[in-house]
Amino acid sequence: MAAKVILITGASSGIGLATAELLHAEGFTVYGTSRRANNASKYKFQMIELDVNQEDSVAQAIEKVISTEGHIDVLINNAGFAIAPAGAEESSMQQAQAIFETNFFGALYSASKHALEGYSESLDHELRSHGIRVSLIEPAYTNTSLGMNLLKADAQVTAYEQIREKLHQQMIETIRNSDDPSIVANTILAVINSQNILPRYTSGTTARYLKNLRKFAPVKVFDKLIQRSLKV
Ligand SMILES: NC(=O)c1ccc[n+]([C@@H]2O[C@H](COP(=O)([O-])OP(=O)(O)OC[C@H]3O[C@@H](n4cnc5c(N)ncnc54)[C@H](OP(=O)(O)O)[C@@H]3O)[C@@H](O)[C@H]2O)c1
């Protein structure tokens, strides 16, 4: 049987890279994407250029894979970036739109991810009759360069200065000590190989713990734990 063709966005680092390498090693035909594909030869899988914010770039990347392989079996929407801790009013409309452009169309990080959750669930129902399933893979913090690539809020409020710096350092520290991206890669592999695809999966022990806590702990307890973990 021909190997499944996988397209994974944002495969130049972190979770995307770990997943692309694992799937390639497992024998899948893997196409990864990056906005800078000029050093494509350093990857074991095929790296092609794609900026999820540019319609033309998306069309060209898809065309490239389809013209070579004839089809795409699995699309892993992984490309994304985060914003350094910031109050909602600290981002201009332009910046908020840029985050949605990358994380949703192509929070306000959290908002863009919630939007993506809702959209993915709807899409899963919409596309099922075409034999296509849509799943959310939800890790907690993962040790990638996300913390290094944080976008700064472009209208910072002085009142948040202390807490911002504290949260920023805490976030970088937490990411550094968190799960290896290979854990997410293995979850994705298990989903691809599964006969019974579900709409939503957690990845790693922290994400599983948080999901269970959310499900079973009283709202007040959950709220307290989040506040305590943020140390605010
Ligand atoms: N790390 C965590 O703690 C964590 C936890 C939960 C969820 N996630 C999610 O996991 C995904 C991967 O993040 P990561 O932690 O692996 O971060 P990362 O190491 O910074 O990797 C981000 C990837 O996204 C690509 N990318 C960013 N903007 C893009 C754009 N406009 N068009 C195309 N590609 C773009 C980057 O590629 P180029 O720069 O080469 O184009 C890079 O390959 C993100 O959606 C993130 O929100 C991460």
Does the CB atom of residue 102 touch ligand 1 within 6 A?
A: yes
Does the CB atom of residue 146 touch ligand 1 within 6 A?
A: yes
**What is the four-CA torsion angle of 178, 180, 185, 187, rounded to 10 degrees?**
-50
Does the CB atom of residue 14 touch ligand 1 within 6 A?
A: yes
**What is the four-CA torsion angle of 76, 77, 79, 80, rounded to 10 degrees?**
-140
Per-residue pLDDT for the chain (232 aa), expressed as one digit of tens each? 789 999 999 999 999 999 999 999 999 999 999 999 788 889 999 999 999 989 999 999 999 999 999 999 999 999 998 888 777 778 888 888 888 888 887 748 778 888 889 989 988 998 998 999 999 999 999 999 887 888 888 888 898 888 888 888 888 888 999 999 999 999 999 999 999 999 999 999 999 999 999 999 999 999 998 888 877 6
- pLDDT at position 107: 46
- pLDDT at position 166: 87
| Greatest Cα-to-Cα distance within the chain, rounded to the nearest angstrom | 60
Tell me the CA–centroid distance for residue 50 and ligand 1, in Å: 13
The two structure tokens encoding residue 72: 């795409």
**7 within 8 A of 73, measured Cβ to Cβ:** no
Tell me the CA–centroid distance for residue 182 and ligand 1, in Å: 14
Tell me the CA–centroid distance for residue 129 and ligand 1, in Å: 30
Tell me the CA–centroid distance for residue 14 and ligand 1, in Å: 7
- For ligand 1, atom 46, the nearest C-alpha belongs to 80
**30 within 8 A of 98, measured Cβ to Cβ:** no
Does the CB atom of residue 8 touch ligand 1 within 6 A?
A: no
